[in-house]
Amino acid sequence: MMLEEKIYTELVKAYNNAYAPYSKFHVGAVVVLKNGQMISGSNVENASYGLCNCAERSALFAAYSQGFRKEDIEMLAVIGNTKMPISPCGACRQVINELMDKDAVVVLTNLKKDIKTYKVKDLLPYSFEGEDITNE
């Protein structure tokens, strides 16, 4: 799969907007909506590492904060300065699993434009779901 140049350009902007003074590891993400709109997110660090937020979650939270939901999302793309296409952390995989349709596309890339493409359902097999929270 080729990543459209306009999506890659937005990814690089998000990557450059990262606030990573401690790790120096920048990550950018873009949620592509079915209407063509793009919502970006960057990783944001904090001296208290537990309070950091990844780019994937930043982008998805921004989309949801604007009123969009999983049925509006076509794709999530993520970029980092990695040897291979970047891989989302476990926390991001859980959030992606809940906030995106299981058949939506997740495109992982790097600054060299290497690409790996997955469906949401393939990123987190045997995932914890909202239906698992029951008192019955």
Q: Which residues 6+ apart lie within 8 Å of 9 measured at CB?
A: none
Q: Which residues 6+ apart lie within 8 Å of 129 measured at CB?
A: 97, 98
Q: Which of 4, 45, 56, 74 is catalytic?
A: 56
Q: Judge whether 56 counts as a catalytic residue.
A: yes
Angle between helix 5-16 and helix 55-65 axes, rounded to 10 deg: 110
- Report in angstroms the alpha-carbon separations of 27 from 69, 80, 86, 126: 23, 5, 9, 26
Active site residues: 56
